[in-house]
Structure 1
């Protein structure tokens, strides 16, 4: 660490110590839980966290008051719409007059809504982020280039930005010129640094570097985390090529926090069992699926006592399975595929993995893409190519029929740009058909 980085790091922990050391205690608990998942004291502690929040929900909310809390499966599965419409009943009566923090979803794929978190939950989430950031090479004190749609979020005040060392980058300003300026800033900045932002933003940066035939950029970039969108493995390879950094994907949401993250050079996600209980449920009912099977990602937040989020359907789908890593057996997310409404089906009705997007990567002429399912057998694929020319159009459609079905009706539309959502995110797959 450089001197100014050490000062920021030490200052952060001194402030926490003077305030009672709450972040440090949470951090050590998370570290112990994630690194020793099979030890009985850890398992017992996590079981207690779960039981405590279930008991709290039953004794302090109108929504859950008639439920027997001994078994998580006695609780109903809720989603964003249920939480929004029943918020007064779900919010803890014991915490109504307590200090709390409001966190809001962006509403990228529906109406936004706000969830309130008690101060202990907010502290826990801070500790979650610190620990998982360290796992991929980012330490407190390093400079963080944060790519998001900043107009939708309250920017840090100048004092907070100084101590947290954050440089905000607005994704709506990622033109070729602004990317060129950003790369120059990275080159000239001598500090250790990390980048955090929407996965599609890094794809755009890499595509720009491809177009100028850039050589590797040496800039002390220690950590890159993609969030909010599926991270294309090709983008990870490109970030390694240009910045010599192992990019990872983080699975989180605004209403809960840091749920899972990829380890460096791995494709699976370590689940944050320290702070959440995660289930994978069937698409058609609320029963748990067997390991290795696609289903809905449903989480129980172990620390939000202001608004108990129990069996909350995130709207995402994935696969959970056991892996062996460093002589530790872990239950991890082997796939996180994004929102169910952003999944497409073949003409036979089979849900297709978003890995189908990788098929497009081999066509170097394609700069941007978006797949839209219109009906059971009709698909619109929007492509951005140089001068709207794509000589391999017939080969492209033929290959996609191998995945979508030989009877698939595929239309290509050439566009100048795939527009970003109001949140600054980019939807690569859209399903307008309800199967």
Structure 2
């Protein structure tokens, strides 16, 4: 009997995936007519839990009960930029939770936590959605277009996780034509079932295939699907990727701190996760807007007992379709999450999200770094503007420069400027990386 690699990898890390999948099945059996009652009871249940068991959240709310959901304050990322241990609920410690760092793609990084069951439930949701398209996380081999930590421990840890999760990583820190040729050779030699990764990296690979007048499906006949994530997917880019790769492109919307937010079905309807999340679209006064109107995406994690994610402003703007129902909300449009590509003088192309790996080297569990943005001003010059309680130390600057050399390239000039506030776009969102060349 073949091993279930996906389940095994979670069980090895003490995440109760079997229990999570049973709960997910139970939630999905709730009839549409009763689903609003389910959401209403779960969101007040998680709210009451954190008001009783989380001193950080109780202090943030400034009261210990709410009669109306609209009265619950919206949680901003800036409020979470403090030591994790001050934000954990009673009886949760680092030894019995999952700890992660946000990508900082909005420019506001922080460290977050989930209890083990909540984390398993997130993965059960991913497994369920992938099965819509014939992808089984226990058996299907993934070509993974992501970055990877380049320090020895982080690199080995990630590669081990890849191995037991049936993922083979394509390092996207260099997307020059020479590296693309190596990517192509790997597809010729392996039976990949699907591609998953950053939109910008997959798009560049698709353009490379087009320039070679190749379709990837002909080179790797086992390919069934391409899943793009983390960055905005434009209509013309989807068409180019589908043409060059030869399989359907599916748009995934998620965030590490809350898990899967929305996933496209076979009809390209962007179905919002309503099982373990409650997703609202709010106006500038934190009031819900009617379906069909644009607003801020605000999310409540219904099962995270370790850390409150209640009416959490994810930093994106979106629209829910008018055909949405409580059980099946449909995301009509997501605004934001576009990412530029850094182009170096030697021809190397580096996705903007690479700078997540750079900044991750100095994101510490102390809340000092509040916001940052990176701009490329010339082929060999970058500028980092940041807001922090204290200026970067020489040691921190040295660590950033070493990380830039490791992840981006050598002989680059970097200017640092500490600011009181950073410039935002008209939606109020920061863009972590921008190319000005």
TM-score scaled to structure 2, two decimals?
Answer: 0.70
Residue pairs, 1:124-135, within 5 angstroms: 124-135=121-132
Residue pairs, 1:113-128, within 5 angstroms: 113-128=110-125
Residue pairs, 1:28-39, within 5 angstroms: 28-31=22-25, 33=27, 38-39=32-33
Partner of 1:347: none
Q: How far does residue 163 in structure 1 lie from its aligned partner after superposition?
A: 2.5
Cα distance in 1 for residues equivalent to 2:260 and 2:146: 17
Q: 5+ residue gaps in structure 2?
A: 359-373, 376-421, 428-437
Residue pairs, 1:375-386, within 5 angstroms: none
Question: Residue 16 and residue 146 in structure 1: after superposition, are their counterparts in 2 closer, same or farther (change >3 A)?
Answer: closer
Indicate if the aligned counterparts of 2:320 and 2:330 stay in contact, CA closer than 8 A.
Answer: yes
Cα distance in 2 for residues equivalent to 1:420 and 1:276: 28
Indicate if the aligned counterparts of 1:106 and 1:152 stay in contact, CA closer than 8 A.
Answer: no
Q: How far does residue 92 in structure 1 lie from its aligned partner after superposition?
A: 1.1
Correspondence 1:256 to 2:251 = no
- State the aligned residue count: 354
Cα distance in 1 for residues equivalent to 2:106 and 2:8: 41
Offset from partner CA, 1:299-321 (integer Å, 9 cap, x none): 00111111111000000000012
Indicate if the aligned counterparts of 1:37 and 1:330 stay in contact, CA closer than 8 A.
Answer: no
SS in 2 for 1:288: coil
Partner of 1:3: none
Indicate if the aligned counterparts of 1:216 and 1:241 stay in contact, CA closer than 8 A.
Answer: no
SS in 2 for 1:151: coil
SS in 2 for 1:59: helix
Q: 5+ residue gaps in structure 1?
A: 1-5, 343-368, 371-381, 385-414
Cα distance in 2 for residues equivalent to 1:273 and 1:433: 30
SS in 1 for 2:330: strand
SS in 2 for 1:8: coil
Correspondence 1:142 to 2:131 = no
Cα distance in 2 for residues equivalent to 1:183 and 1:31: 39
Q: How far does residue 209 in structure 1 lie from its aligned partner after superposition?
A: 1.3
Q: How far does residue 70 in structure 1 lie from its aligned partner after superposition?
A: 4.1
SS in 2 for 1:245: coil
Select 2:46's aligned residue among 42, 46, 53.
53
Offset from partner CA, 1:285-338 (integer Å, 9 cap, x none): 11111111110000001111111110000000000123279xx98321101112
Partner of 2:433: none
Question: Residue 222 and residue 330 in structure 1: after superposition, are their counterparts in 2 closer, same or farther (change >3 A)?
Answer: same
TM-score scaled to structure 1, two decimals?
Answer: 0.71
Cα distance in 2 for residues equivalent to 1:22 and 1:213: 46
Partner of 1:103: 100
Indicate if the aligned counterparts of 2:228 and 2:251 stay in contact, CA closer than 8 A.
Answer: yes
Q: How far does residue 21 in structure 1 lie from its aligned partner after superposition?
A: 9.7
Cα distance in 2 for residues equivalent to 1:179 and 1:304: 40
Q: How far does residue 192 in structure 1 lie from its aligned partner after superposition?
A: 4.7
Residue pairs, 1:168-317, within 5 angstroms: 168-189=169-190, 191-215=191-215, 217-218=217-218, 219=220, 220-266=222-268, 268-282=269-283, 284-317=284-317
Cα distance in 2 for residues equivalent to 1:74 and 1:331: 23
Cα distance in 2 for residues equivalent to 1:431 and 1:264: 39
Cα distance in 1 for residues equivalent to 2:29 and 2:192: 26
Partner of 1:82: 79
Q: How far does residue 187 in structure 1 lie from its aligned partner after superposition?
A: 2.5
Indicate if the aligned counterparts of 1:320 and 1:332 stay in contact, CA closer than 8 A.
Answer: yes
Cα distance in 2 for residues equivalent to 1:271 and 1:89: 31
Partner of 1:355: none
Give the number of the structure with larger relative contact order, counting CA–CA contacts within 8 Å between residues 6 or more apart.
2
Question: Residue 74 and residue 90 in structure 1: after superposition, are their counterparts in 2 closer, same or farther (change >3 A)?
Answer: farther
Partner of 2:418: none
SS in 1 for 2:237: helix
Offset from partner CA, 1:107-142 (integer Å, 9 cap, x none): 234242110111111111221221122223321211
Cα distance in 2 for residues equivalent to 1:171 and 1:17: 29
Question: Residue 37 and residue 289 in structure 1: after superposition, are their counterparts in 2 closer, same or farther (change >3 A)?
Answer: farther
Q: How far does residue 271 in structure 1 lie from its aligned partner after superposition?
A: 0.7
Q: How far does residue 272 in structure 1 lie from its aligned partner after superposition?
A: 0.6
Question: Residue 30 and residue 338 in structure 1: after superposition, are their counterparts in 2 closer, same or farther (change >3 A)?
Answer: farther
SS in 2 for 1:169: strand
Indicate if the aligned counterparts of 2:174 and 2:349 stay in contact, CA closer than 8 A.
Answer: no
Offset from partner CA, 1:151-200 (integer Å, 9 cap, x none): 279444555433311111221122212222212221222x3521111111
